[in-house]
Amino acid sequence: MRQRLAVGNWKMHGNLPENRSLLDAVVAGVAGLQRAACAVCVPFPYLAQAQSALAGSKVAWGAQNVSQHPKGAFTGEVSAAMLLEFGCRYVLVGHSERRQLFGEDDATVAAKAKALLAAGLTPIVCVGETLAEREGNITEQVVGRQVAAAADALGADGLAASVMAYEPVWAIGTGKTASPEQAQAVHAFIRGLLAGRDRKMAGSVQILYGGSVKASNAAELFAKADVDGGLIGGASLVAGEFIAICKAADVA
């Protein structure tokens, strides 16, 4: 039985006072979770604040990016070891905004995930197709390529220590959510690909859905057999929404 997981992706939002109220509200709001886990991935400068506000609570924290390099002359980059020093547990890699706006390719995404695993952190490996790719009926081809690149680099043990996130690009920040059936179809496809590598690993890897998840649609998405929770952008910035989503994940 896979544990459900709800992860907030704050993207480049926040400031110290607003973060404090959001984090305090989330800590209080999810204190009663019985089964699900939850986390927030905050901008780098707020990791210390997240660590001090969340330590000892039910909310884990993490980052939205990492360098694939361990150290060196890489101005502006942040290493996995640095994230570990701030108590991070989860780190996003391959978010579509990184792929589209910052030119990250499958090989870079895989190298970042490897660097995280080597440091003992949990990569959340994001995959997903654009609207043109879905309309061109190549969703499985695109997602298959992205998953295969991660699987080739990480191997079954690495994948077993990772989380996958299916995030159709057309659903991110657009208010358009994949239907539960659309999400389930791609999640089952991903799990099938993983099963082709290692059946036991495939049965245990959490696959999150991301793309305009809200309090109002979380329960129906999370009810699908291969949807193990959500990666939440906009709604994670609103305490009541994020808490309700975490509670929707906290079902038997």
**Catalytic (active-site) positions:** 95, 167
Shortest Cβ distance from residue 95 to ligand PEP (Å)? 6
Closest CB to ligand PEP among residues 201, 218: 218
Closest CB to ligand PEP among residues 168, 201: 168
Q: Per DSSP, what are the bridge partners of residue 232?
A: 8
Nearest-CB residue to ligand PEP? 233
Q: Indicate the SS3 state at residue 238.
A: coil
Q: Quick count: other Cβ atoms within 10 Å of Cβ 125? A: 29
Q: Indicate the SS3 state at residue 225.
A: coil
Helix (H) or strand (E) holding 165: strand 163-166
Closest CB to ligand PEP among residues 92, 201: 92
CB 88 within 8 A of CB 61: yes
Shortest Cβ distance from residue 184 to ligand PEP (Å)? 17
Helix (H) or strand (E) holding 125: strand 122-127
Task: Annotate 17-31 with DSSP letters as a single string.
Answer: HHHHHHHHHHHHHTT
**Residues at the contact surface with ligand PEP, assessed by CB under 6 A:** 9, 11, 95, 167, 172-173, 210-213, 231-235
CB 156 within 8 A of CB 191: no
Closest CB to ligand PEP among residues 201, 229: 229
Shortest Cβ distance from residue 197 to ligand PEP (Å)? 25
Identify which of 6, 54, 63, 62 has the alpha carbon closest to the alpha carbon of residue 33: 6
CB 27 within 8 A of CB 58: yes
Closest CB to ligand PEP among residues 229, 234: 234
Shortest Cβ distance from residue 166 to ligand PEP (Å)? 10
Amino acid type, 99: R
Shortest Cβ distance from residue 172 to ligand PEP (Å)? 4
